A and B are shown apart, each in its own frame.
Chain A
Protein backbone atom coordinates (compact mmCIF):
# COMPACT_ATOMS: atom_id res chain seq x y z
CA UNK A 1 0.00 0.00 0.00
CA UNK A 2 2.79 2.38 0.94
CA UNK A 3 4.50 1.60 -2.38
CA UNK A 4 1.27 2.22 -4.30
CA UNK A 5 0.79 5.49 -2.51
CA UNK A 6 4.40 6.50 -3.18
CA UNK A 7 3.91 5.80 -6.89
CA UNK A 8 0.68 7.78 -6.97
CA UNK A 9 2.41 10.61 -5.09
CA UNK A 10 5.23 10.73 -7.68
CA UNK A 11 2.88 10.80 -10.66
CA UNK A 12 0.00 12.86 -9.27
CA UNK A 13 1.54 15.41 -6.87
CA UNK A 14 2.36 17.99 -9.55
CA UNK A 15 -0.99 17.57 -11.27
CA UNK A 16 -2.89 18.04 -8.00
CA UNK A 17 -0.81 21.07 -6.92
CA UNK A 18 -1.24 22.75 -10.30
CA UNK A 19 -5.02 22.22 -10.28
CA UNK A 20 -5.25 23.59 -6.73
CA UNK A 21 -3.12 26.62 -7.60
CA UNK A 22 -5.46 27.44 -10.45
CA UNK A 23 -8.50 27.05 -8.21
CA UNK A 24 -7.21 28.94 -5.17
CA UNK A 25 -4.43 31.13 -6.56
CA UNK A 26 -2.20 30.42 -3.58
CA UNK A 27 0.86 28.20 -3.95
CA UNK A 28 1.40 27.50 -0.25
CA UNK A 29 -2.26 26.68 0.30
CA UNK A 30 -2.21 24.33 -2.70
CA UNK A 31 0.89 22.51 -1.43
CA UNK A 32 -0.44 22.18 2.10
CA UNK A 33 -3.82 20.91 0.91
CA UNK A 34 -2.30 18.31 -1.43
CA UNK A 35 0.02 17.10 1.34
CA UNK A 36 -3.02 16.88 3.66
CA UNK A 37 -4.84 14.83 1.04
CA UNK A 38 -1.97 12.35 0.79
CA UNK A 39 -1.85 12.10 4.58
CA UNK A 40 -5.59 11.36 4.58
CA UNK A 41 -5.04 8.72 1.89
CA UNK A 42 -2.35 7.10 4.02
CA UNK A 43 -4.94 6.63 6.77
CA UNK A 44 -8.08 5.73 4.80
CA UNK A 45 -6.88 3.77 1.75
CA UNK A 46 -5.53 0.79 3.72
CA UNK A 47 -8.97 0.54 5.38
CA UNK A 48 -11.29 1.39 2.46
CA UNK A 49 -9.17 0.30 -0.50
CA UNK A 50 -7.74 2.42 -3.31
CA UNK A 51 -10.45 4.54 -4.95
CA UNK A 52 -11.25 3.93 -8.65
CA UNK A 53 -9.64 7.24 -9.64
CA UNK A 54 -6.82 7.91 -7.15
CA UNK A 55 -5.84 11.17 -8.91
CA UNK A 56 -9.42 12.47 -8.82
CA UNK A 57 -9.76 11.42 -5.17
CA UNK A 58 -6.56 13.28 -4.23
CA UNK A 59 -7.66 16.46 -6.03
CA UNK A 60 -11.18 16.38 -4.54
CA UNK A 61 -9.86 15.69 -1.04
CA UNK A 62 -7.19 18.38 -1.39
CA UNK A 63 -9.86 20.85 -2.47
CA UNK A 64 -11.90 20.06 0.66
CA UNK A 65 -8.81 20.48 2.83
CA UNK A 66 -8.06 23.81 1.16
CA UNK A 67 -11.61 25.07 1.75
CA UNK A 68 -11.36 23.98 5.43
CA UNK A 69 -8.11 25.86 5.79
CA UNK A 70 -9.61 28.96 4.18
CA UNK A 71 -12.58 28.83 6.57
CA UNK A 72 -10.20 28.66 9.52
CA UNK A 73 -7.92 31.37 8.27
CA UNK A 74 -9.52 34.75 7.63
CA UNK A 75 -6.29 36.32 6.35
CA UNK A 76 -6.13 33.64 3.74
CA UNK A 77 -9.80 34.08 2.90
CA UNK A 78 -9.01 37.69 2.09
CA UNK A 79 -6.07 36.58 -0.03
CA UNK A 80 -8.30 34.08 -1.74
CA UNK A 81 -10.67 36.86 -2.79
CA UNK A 82 -7.72 38.83 -4.12
CA UNK A 83 -6.34 35.79 -5.88
CA UNK A 84 -9.61 35.25 -7.66
CA UNK A 85 -9.39 38.74 -9.09
CA UNK A 86 -5.92 37.86 -10.30
CA UNK A 87 -6.45 34.34 -11.53
CA UNK A 88 -10.09 33.98 -12.56
CA UNK A 89 -11.15 30.37 -12.11
CA UNK A 90 -12.44 28.42 -15.03
CA UNK A 91 -14.84 25.53 -14.58
CA UNK A 92 -13.00 22.66 -12.92
CA UNK A 93 -14.74 19.77 -14.64
CA UNK A 94 -12.99 20.45 -17.92
CA UNK A 95 -10.77 17.36 -18.13
CA UNK A 96 -8.70 18.85 -20.94
CA UNK A 97 -7.71 21.72 -18.68
CA UNK A 98 -5.88 19.41 -16.28
CA UNK A 99 -2.67 18.85 -18.25
CA UNK A 100 -2.68 22.55 -19.11
CA UNK A 101 -2.45 23.34 -15.42
CA UNK A 102 0.92 21.62 -15.20
CA UNK A 103 2.14 23.41 -18.29
CA UNK A 104 1.04 26.75 -16.82
CA UNK A 105 2.85 25.90 -13.62
CA UNK A 106 6.11 25.00 -15.43
CA UNK A 107 6.05 28.40 -17.15
CA UNK A 108 5.32 30.16 -13.85
CA UNK A 109 8.23 28.36 -12.15
CA UNK A 110 10.56 29.30 -15.03
CA UNK A 111 9.42 32.93 -15.37
CA UNK A 112 12.35 35.16 -16.42
CA UNK A 113 11.66 37.48 -13.44
CA UNK A 114 12.82 34.63 -11.16
CA UNK A 115 16.47 33.68 -10.73
CA UNK A 116 17.53 30.73 -12.92
CA UNK A 117 18.44 28.67 -9.82
CA UNK A 118 14.88 29.19 -8.55
CA UNK A 119 13.43 27.87 -11.85
CA UNK A 120 14.80 24.41 -11.29
CA UNK A 121 14.16 24.30 -7.54
CA UNK A 122 10.54 25.43 -7.93
CA UNK A 123 9.86 23.02 -10.79
CA UNK A 124 11.20 20.12 -8.72
CA UNK A 125 9.21 21.24 -5.69
CA UNK A 126 5.84 22.10 -7.21
CA UNK A 127 5.70 19.67 -10.14
CA UNK A 128 8.00 16.92 -9.02
CA UNK A 129 6.86 16.81 -5.42
CA UNK A 130 10.47 16.63 -4.21
CA UNK A 131 11.04 17.71 -0.63
CA UNK A 132 13.18 20.71 0.26
CA UNK A 133 15.96 18.45 1.69
CA UNK A 134 15.97 16.41 -1.53
CA UNK A 135 16.30 19.55 -3.67
CA UNK A 136 18.99 20.96 -1.36
CA UNK A 137 20.91 17.69 -1.78
CA UNK A 138 20.63 17.87 -5.59
CA UNK A 139 21.94 21.47 -5.54
CA UNK A 140 24.65 20.71 -2.94
CA UNK A 141 23.45 23.60 -0.75
CA UNK A 142 22.37 23.58 2.91
CA UNK A 143 18.71 22.85 3.52
CA UNK A 144 18.07 26.29 5.08
CA UNK A 145 19.52 27.99 1.98
CA UNK A 146 17.21 26.02 -0.28
CA UNK A 147 14.21 26.64 2.00
CA UNK A 148 14.90 30.40 1.85
CA UNK A 149 15.36 30.31 -1.93
CA UNK A 150 12.02 28.52 -2.38
CA UNK A 151 10.20 30.80 0.05
CA UNK A 152 11.59 33.92 -1.65
CA UNK A 153 10.62 32.67 -5.10
CA UNK A 154 7.09 31.75 -4.02
CA UNK A 155 6.69 35.14 -2.32
CA UNK A 156 7.80 36.91 -5.50
CA UNK A 157 5.30 34.94 -7.59
CA UNK A 158 2.56 36.01 -5.18
CA UNK A 159 3.56 39.62 -4.44
CA UNK A 160 4.87 40.68 -7.84
CA UNK A 161 1.92 39.06 -9.61
CA UNK A 162 3.84 36.63 -11.81
CA UNK A 163 1.04 35.23 -13.96
CA UNK A 164 0.03 31.60 -13.94
CA UNK A 165 -0.29 30.92 -17.63
CA UNK A 166 1.43 29.67 -20.75
CA UNK A 167 2.79 32.70 -22.62
CA UNK A 168 1.03 33.77 -25.76
CA UNK A 169 2.39 32.49 -29.05
CA UNK A 170 4.33 35.69 -29.65
CA UNK A 171 6.20 35.37 -26.33
CA UNK A 172 6.55 31.61 -26.37
CA UNK A 173 9.80 31.32 -28.37
CA UNK A 174 11.51 33.68 -25.89
CA UNK A 175 10.19 31.87 -22.83
CA UNK A 176 10.51 28.22 -23.88
CA UNK A 177 14.36 28.06 -23.64
CA UNK A 178 14.28 28.76 -19.87
CA UNK A 179 11.79 25.95 -19.38
CA UNK A 180 13.83 23.55 -21.51
CA UNK A 181 17.07 24.53 -19.75
CA UNK A 182 15.47 23.93 -16.35
CA UNK A 183 14.33 20.48 -17.45
CA UNK A 184 17.75 19.72 -18.96
CA UNK A 185 19.53 20.71 -15.74
CA UNK A 186 17.08 18.67 -13.68
CA UNK A 187 17.89 15.73 -15.99
CA UNK A 188 21.63 16.13 -15.32
CA UNK A 189 21.07 15.87 -11.57
CA UNK A 190 22.11 12.48 -10.29
CA UNK A 191 18.82 11.69 -8.53
CA UNK A 192 16.41 13.68 -10.64
CA UNK A 193 16.85 12.29 -14.18
CA UNK A 194 13.69 10.16 -14.09
CA UNK A 195 11.67 13.11 -12.80
CA UNK A 196 13.01 15.33 -15.60
CA UNK A 197 12.04 12.75 -18.23
CA UNK A 198 8.53 12.58 -16.78
CA UNK A 199 8.11 16.38 -16.81
CA UNK A 200 9.57 16.69 -20.32
CA UNK A 201 7.22 13.99 -21.52
CA UNK A 202 4.27 16.03 -20.20
CA UNK A 203 5.61 19.12 -21.99
CA UNK A 204 6.18 17.16 -25.22
CA UNK A 205 2.63 15.77 -25.09
CA UNK A 206 1.21 19.23 -24.51
CA UNK A 207 3.37 21.01 -27.11
CA UNK A 208 3.76 18.52 -29.97
CA UNK A 209 4.40 21.37 -32.43
CA UNK A 210 7.59 22.53 -30.70
CA UNK A 211 10.40 20.40 -32.15
CA UNK A 212 12.92 21.48 -29.49
CA UNK A 213 10.69 19.97 -26.79
CA UNK A 214 10.57 16.69 -28.72
CA UNK A 215 14.33 16.97 -29.27
CA UNK A 216 15.01 17.41 -25.55
CA UNK A 217 12.88 14.37 -24.70
CA UNK A 218 14.75 12.32 -27.32
CA UNK A 219 18.11 13.53 -25.97
CA UNK A 220 17.13 12.50 -22.44
CA UNK A 221 15.88 9.06 -23.50
CA UNK A 222 18.97 8.28 -25.61
CA UNK A 223 21.26 9.37 -22.77
CA UNK A 224 19.31 7.58 -20.06
CA UNK A 225 19.08 4.37 -22.12
CA UNK A 226 22.87 3.97 -21.93
CA UNK A 227 23.19 4.63 -18.20
CA UNK A 228 23.35 0.92 -17.18
CA UNK A 229 26.28 0.32 -19.56
CA UNK A 230 28.22 3.47 -18.71
CA UNK A 231 29.93 2.10 -15.61
CA UNK A 232 31.20 -1.30 -14.56
CA UNK A 233 29.78 -3.04 -11.48
CA UNK A 234 32.71 -1.45 -9.61
CA UNK A 235 31.58 2.00 -10.75
CA UNK A 236 34.39 2.44 -13.29
CA UNK A 237 33.71 4.36 -16.46
CA UNK A 238 33.17 2.43 -19.70
CA UNK A 239 33.85 4.34 -22.90
CA UNK A 240 31.10 4.47 -25.51
CA UNK A 241 32.99 2.26 -27.97
CA UNK A 242 33.51 -0.40 -25.27
CA UNK A 243 29.98 -0.36 -23.86
CA UNK A 244 27.97 -3.58 -23.87
CA UNK A 245 25.08 -2.58 -26.11
CA UNK A 246 22.90 -5.36 -24.77
CA UNK A 247 22.78 -3.42 -21.50
CA UNK A 248 21.26 -0.39 -23.19
CA UNK A 249 17.50 0.04 -22.70
CA UNK A 250 16.10 -0.93 -26.14
CA UNK A 251 12.65 0.62 -25.57
CA UNK A 252 14.19 4.00 -24.70
CA UNK A 253 16.59 3.81 -27.66
CA UNK A 254 13.72 3.00 -30.04
CA UNK A 255 11.54 5.80 -28.71
CA UNK A 256 14.48 8.23 -28.80
CA UNK A 257 15.24 7.38 -32.45
CA UNK A 258 11.59 7.72 -33.40
CA UNK A 259 11.36 11.13 -31.68
CA UNK A 260 14.55 12.35 -33.40
CA UNK A 261 13.07 11.46 -36.78
CA UNK A 262 9.78 13.18 -35.86
CA UNK A 263 11.33 16.47 -34.80
CA UNK A 264 13.98 16.68 -37.54
CA UNK A 265 11.24 16.23 -40.13
CA UNK A 266 9.95 19.67 -39.09
CA UNK A 267 13.20 21.14 -40.37
CA UNK A 268 13.60 23.68 -37.55
CA UNK A 269 16.69 22.17 -35.91
CA UNK A 270 17.75 23.62 -32.57
CA UNK A 271 20.48 22.68 -30.09
CA UNK A 272 18.48 19.96 -28.31
CA UNK A 273 17.40 18.32 -31.56
CA UNK A 274 20.97 18.32 -32.85
CA UNK A 275 22.34 16.85 -29.62
CA UNK A 276 19.59 14.23 -29.77
CA UNK A 277 20.53 13.49 -33.39
CA UNK A 278 24.20 13.08 -32.40
CA UNK A 279 23.14 10.65 -29.69
CA UNK A 280 20.92 8.84 -32.20
CA UNK A 281 23.93 8.28 -34.47
CA UNK A 282 25.99 7.08 -31.49
CA UNK A 283 23.28 4.58 -30.60
CA UNK A 284 22.70 3.35 -34.16
CA UNK A 285 24.94 0.91 -36.03
CA UNK A 286 28.48 0.14 -34.89
CA UNK A 287 30.99 1.30 -36.06
CA UNK A 288 29.94 4.89 -35.51
CA UNK A 289 29.17 7.04 -38.56
CA UNK A 290 31.67 9.79 -37.68
CA UNK A 291 31.22 11.91 -40.85
CA UNK A 292 27.52 12.15 -39.97
CA UNK A 293 28.38 13.17 -36.41
CA UNK A 294 30.82 15.81 -37.65
CA UNK A 295 28.11 17.29 -39.89
CA UNK A 296 25.76 17.51 -36.91
CA UNK A 297 28.45 19.10 -34.71
CA UNK A 298 29.23 21.64 -37.47
CA UNK A 299 25.56 22.59 -37.41
CA UNK A 300 25.40 22.66 -33.60
CA UNK A 301 28.53 24.82 -33.44
CA UNK A 302 26.94 27.32 -35.82
CA UNK A 303 23.88 27.58 -33.55
CA UNK A 304 25.75 27.52 -30.22
CA UNK A 305 29.39 28.46 -30.80
CA UNK A 306 30.58 27.62 -27.28
CA UNK A 307 34.05 26.20 -26.47
CA UNK A 308 32.41 23.08 -25.02
CA UNK A 309 30.63 22.33 -28.31
CA UNK A 310 33.87 23.12 -30.19
CA UNK A 311 35.77 20.55 -28.08
CA UNK A 312 33.24 17.84 -28.85
CA UNK A 313 33.33 18.85 -32.51
CA UNK A 314 37.14 18.47 -32.45
CA UNK A 315 36.71 14.85 -31.33
CA UNK A 316 34.59 14.23 -34.44
CA UNK A 317 37.12 16.10 -36.61
CA UNK A 318 39.86 13.76 -35.30
CA UNK A 319 37.79 10.66 -36.06
CA UNK A 320 37.17 11.83 -39.64
CA UNK A 321 40.40 13.67 -40.54
CA UNK A 322 42.94 12.26 -38.09
CA UNK A 323 44.38 13.27 -34.70
CA UNK A 324 46.43 16.27 -35.91
CA UNK A 325 43.33 17.85 -37.52
CA UNK A 326 41.50 17.22 -34.26
CA UNK A 327 44.23 18.95 -32.24
CA UNK A 328 44.17 21.90 -34.65
CA UNK A 329 40.39 22.23 -34.18
CA UNK A 330 40.60 21.97 -30.38
CA UNK A 331 39.94 25.28 -28.56
CA UNK A 332 41.73 25.75 -25.28
CA UNK A 333 39.52 25.57 -22.19
CA UNK A 334 41.98 25.07 -19.36
CA UNK A 335 39.51 24.52 -16.54
CA UNK A 336 37.40 21.89 -18.34
CA UNK A 337 38.45 18.27 -17.88
CA UNK A 338 37.08 17.16 -21.25
CA UNK A 339 39.50 19.57 -22.98
CA UNK A 340 42.49 17.91 -21.31
CA UNK A 341 41.13 14.38 -21.79
CA UNK A 342 40.54 15.04 -25.50
CA UNK A 343 43.97 16.61 -25.93
CA UNK A 344 45.58 13.67 -24.11
CA UNK A 345 43.77 11.18 -26.34
CA UNK A 346 44.88 12.95 -29.53
CA UNK A 347 48.47 13.45 -28.33
CA UNK A 348 48.70 9.75 -27.55
CA UNK A 349 47.46 8.86 -31.02
CA UNK A 350 50.24 11.06 -32.41
CA UNK A 351 52.78 9.24 -30.23
CA UNK A 352 53.48 12.13 -27.82
CA UNK A 353 53.13 9.94 -24.75
CA UNK A 354 54.73 12.17 -22.12
CA UNK A 355 52.60 15.18 -23.04
CA UNK A 356 49.54 12.92 -23.21
CA UNK A 357 50.16 11.55 -19.69
CA UNK A 358 50.48 15.10 -18.31
CA UNK A 359 47.17 16.06 -19.96
CA UNK A 360 45.42 12.95 -18.60
CA UNK A 361 46.61 13.82 -15.10
CA UNK A 362 45.39 17.40 -15.48
CA UNK A 363 41.99 16.08 -16.64
CA UNK A 364 41.85 13.74 -13.63
CA UNK A 365 42.52 16.69 -11.30
CA UNK A 366 39.67 18.70 -12.78
CA UNK A 367 36.85 16.16 -12.97
CA UNK A 368 34.48 15.88 -10.04
CA UNK A 369 33.29 12.41 -11.05
CA UNK A 370 35.18 9.62 -9.19
CA UNK A 371 34.65 7.07 -11.99
CA UNK A 372 36.06 9.49 -14.56
CA UNK A 373 38.99 10.31 -12.30
CA UNK A 374 39.89 6.62 -11.94
CA UNK A 375 39.64 6.16 -15.69
CA UNK A 376 41.83 9.17 -16.51
CA UNK A 377 44.43 8.31 -13.88
CA UNK A 378 44.66 4.79 -15.33
CA UNK A 379 45.19 6.22 -18.81
CA UNK A 380 48.04 8.38 -17.52
CA UNK A 381 49.57 5.40 -15.72
CA UNK A 382 49.44 3.22 -18.86
CA UNK A 383 51.41 5.82 -20.79
CA UNK A 384 54.10 6.27 -18.16
CA UNK A 385 54.34 2.45 -17.77
CA UNK A 386 55.97 2.25 -21.19
CA UNK A 387 53.14 3.01 -23.53
CA UNK A 388 51.04 -0.13 -23.52
CA UNK A 389 47.80 0.17 -25.43
CA UNK A 390 49.28 2.75 -27.82
CA UNK A 391 46.10 2.94 -29.88
CA UNK A 392 44.12 4.16 -26.91
CA UNK A 393 40.39 4.18 -27.04
CA UNK A 394 37.94 6.79 -28.15
CA UNK A 395 37.85 9.99 -26.17
CA UNK A 396 34.09 10.02 -26.22
CA UNK A 397 33.49 9.38 -22.59
CA UNK A 398 29.77 9.08 -22.30
Chain B
Protein backbone atom coordinates (compact mmCIF):
# COMPACT_ATOMS: atom_id res chain seq x y z
CA UNK B 1 0.00 0.00 0.00
CA UNK B 2 1.22 3.49 -0.86
CA UNK B 3 0.18 6.97 0.13
CA UNK B 4 -0.83 9.68 -2.32
CA UNK B 5 -1.59 13.37 -2.06
CA UNK B 6 -4.58 14.54 -4.06
CA UNK B 7 -4.02 18.29 -4.34
CA UNK B 8 -6.83 20.52 -5.50
CA UNK B 9 -6.01 23.65 -7.49
CA UNK B 10 -8.49 26.47 -7.53
CA UNK B 11 -8.55 29.88 -9.15
CA UNK B 12 -7.60 32.92 -7.06
CA UNK B 13 -10.64 34.98 -6.08
CA UNK B 14 -13.92 34.68 -4.24
CA UNK B 15 -15.38 31.20 -3.88
CA UNK B 16 -18.48 30.44 -5.94
CA UNK B 17 -21.88 31.44 -4.45
CA UNK B 18 -23.41 29.10 -1.84
CA UNK B 19 -25.99 27.68 -4.24
CA UNK B 20 -23.07 26.40 -6.40
CA UNK B 21 -20.72 25.49 -3.56
CA UNK B 22 -23.11 23.65 -1.26
CA UNK B 23 -23.96 20.72 -3.53
CA UNK B 24 -20.22 20.35 -4.34
CA UNK B 25 -19.28 20.25 -0.66
CA UNK B 26 -22.02 17.72 -0.03
CA UNK B 27 -20.76 15.45 -2.80
CA UNK B 28 -17.18 15.81 -1.56
CA UNK B 29 -18.33 14.79 1.94
CA UNK B 30 -19.98 11.71 0.45
CA UNK B 31 -16.75 10.90 -1.41
CA UNK B 32 -14.75 11.26 1.82
CA UNK B 33 -17.17 8.93 3.58
CA UNK B 34 -16.66 6.38 0.85
CA UNK B 35 -12.87 6.75 1.15
CA UNK B 36 -13.18 6.20 4.91
CA UNK B 37 -15.39 3.14 4.43
CA UNK B 38 -12.84 1.53 2.07
CA UNK B 39 -9.84 2.41 4.24
CA UNK B 40 -8.38 4.76 1.64
CA UNK B 41 -8.86 8.03 3.54
CA UNK B 42 -6.03 9.44 5.69
CA UNK B 43 -6.95 13.11 6.08
CA UNK B 44 -8.49 16.01 4.25
CA UNK B 45 -7.70 19.69 4.53
CA UNK B 46 -9.11 22.84 3.01
CA UNK B 47 -7.04 26.00 3.03
CA UNK B 48 -8.10 29.61 3.46
CA UNK B 49 -7.60 31.80 0.37
CA UNK B 50 -4.07 32.85 -0.64
CA UNK B 51 -4.73 36.35 0.73
CA UNK B 52 -4.23 34.82 4.18
CA UNK B 53 -0.81 33.35 3.29
CA UNK B 54 2.50 34.60 4.71
CA UNK B 55 5.88 33.43 3.44
CA UNK B 56 8.75 33.15 5.92
CA UNK B 57 12.34 33.26 4.69
CA UNK B 58 15.54 33.19 6.65
CA UNK B 59 17.55 36.41 6.39
CA UNK B 60 20.92 35.78 8.13
CA UNK B 61 19.27 34.21 11.13
CA UNK B 62 16.34 36.63 11.21
CA UNK B 63 12.95 35.60 9.85
CA UNK B 64 11.91 37.74 6.89
CA UNK B 65 8.14 37.79 6.38
CA UNK B 66 6.32 38.67 3.19
CA UNK B 67 2.61 38.98 2.68
CA UNK B 68 1.04 36.64 0.15
CA UNK B 69 1.66 33.19 -1.29
CA UNK B 70 5.09 31.81 -2.22
CA UNK B 71 4.41 32.04 -5.94
CA UNK B 72 1.96 34.38 -7.65
CA UNK B 73 -0.33 32.57 -10.00
CA UNK B 74 -3.85 32.31 -11.30
CA UNK B 75 -4.36 29.01 -9.48
CA UNK B 76 -3.32 27.97 -5.99
CA UNK B 77 -3.43 24.96 -3.77
CA UNK B 78 -6.86 25.16 -2.18
CA UNK B 79 -6.82 21.97 -0.16
CA UNK B 80 -5.74 18.38 -0.27
CA UNK B 81 -6.65 14.87 0.68
CA UNK B 82 -4.13 12.21 1.61
CA UNK B 83 -5.08 8.64 0.84
CA UNK B 84 -3.87 5.05 0.92
CA UNK B 85 -4.01 3.29 -2.41
CA UNK B 86 -2.56 0.05 -3.75
CA UNK B 87 -1.20 1.75 -6.88
CA UNK B 88 -1.40 4.88 -9.03
CA UNK B 89 -4.48 3.66 -10.92
CA UNK B 90 -6.46 3.46 -7.68
CA UNK B 91 -5.31 6.95 -6.65
CA UNK B 92 -6.18 8.32 -10.10
CA UNK B 93 -9.65 6.84 -9.84
CA UNK B 94 -10.33 8.78 -6.61
CA UNK B 95 -8.83 11.92 -8.18
CA UNK B 96 -11.04 11.55 -11.23
CA UNK B 97 -14.12 11.58 -8.99
CA UNK B 98 -12.89 14.66 -7.10
CA UNK B 99 -12.25 16.42 -10.40
CA UNK B 100 -15.71 15.53 -11.67
CA UNK B 101 -17.39 16.81 -8.49
CA UNK B 102 -15.41 20.05 -8.21
CA UNK B 103 -14.61 20.83 -11.82
CA UNK B 104 -11.07 21.60 -10.62
CA UNK B 105 -7.76 20.01 -11.61
CA UNK B 106 -6.41 17.51 -9.07
CA UNK B 107 -2.68 16.84 -8.91
CA UNK B 108 -1.79 13.32 -7.77
CA UNK B 109 1.62 12.90 -6.14
CA UNK B 110 3.00 9.86 -4.38
CA UNK B 111 4.03 10.64 -0.80
CA UNK B 112 7.72 9.75 -0.38
CA UNK B 113 7.57 9.34 3.38
CA UNK B 114 5.64 10.70 6.33
CA UNK B 115 7.15 11.67 9.65
Contact = CB atoms under 8 A, between A and B. Distances in A.
A159 B1 contact: no
A8 interface: no
B97 to A, nearest CB: 15
Interface string B1-34: 1100000000000000000000000000000000
Interface string A144-188: 000000000000000111110001000100000000000000000
Interface residues of A, number: 11
B95 to A, nearest CB: 11
B88 A160 contact: yes
B101 interface: no
A162 B4 CA distance: 12
Contacts of A85: 1
19 contacts: A86-B86, A111-B88, A113-B88, A113-B92, A159-B110, A159-B112, A160-B88, A160-B109, A160-B110, A161-B85, A161-B86, A161-B87, A161-B88, A161-B110, A162-B87, A162-B88, A162-B89, A163-B89, A171-B89
Q: Which 3 A-B pairs have CB atoms at the shortest separation, nearest pair first? A: A163-B87, A161-B87, A161-B88
Contacts of A160: 88, 108-110
A109 to B, nearest CB: 14
Contacts of B108: 160
A214 B82 CA distance: 42
Contacts of B1: 85
A49 B43 CA distance: 61
Interface string A112-134: 01000000000000000000000
Interface in B70-115: 85-89, 91-92, 108-110, 112
Interface of A: 85-86, 111, 113, 159-163, 167, 171
A120 to B, nearest CB: 20
A42 B5 CA distance: 47
Given A86-B86, A160-B88, 7 more contacts: A86-B87, A159-B110, A160-B109, A161-B86, A161-B91, A162-B87, A162-B89
A111 B85 CA distance: 17
Interface of B: 1-2, 85-89, 91-92, 108-110, 112
A210 B101 CA distance: 33
A39 B71 CA distance: 51
Contacts of A171: 89
A148 to B, nearest CB: 20
Contacts of A167: 89
Contacts of B85: 161
- Tell which of A160, A162, A163, A171 has the most Cβ of chain B within 10 Å: A160
Contacts of A111: 88
A160 B2 CA distance: 9
B61 to A, nearest CB: 35
Contacts of A159: 110, 112
A161 B92 contact: no
A161 B109 CA distance: 10
Contacts of B110: 159-161
Contacts of A86: 2, 86-87
Nearest to B92: A113
A90 B91 CA distance: 24
A85 B89 CA distance: 16
A161 B4 CA distance: 10
A160 B108 CA distance: 9
Contacts of B109: 160
Contacts of A163: 86-89
B10 to A, nearest CB: 22
Nearest to A168: B89
A161 B87 CA distance: 5
B106 to A, nearest CB: 13
A153 to B, nearest CB: 13
A161 B111 CA distance: 11
Contacts of A162: 87-89
A113 B1 CA distance: 19
A172 to B, nearest CB: 13
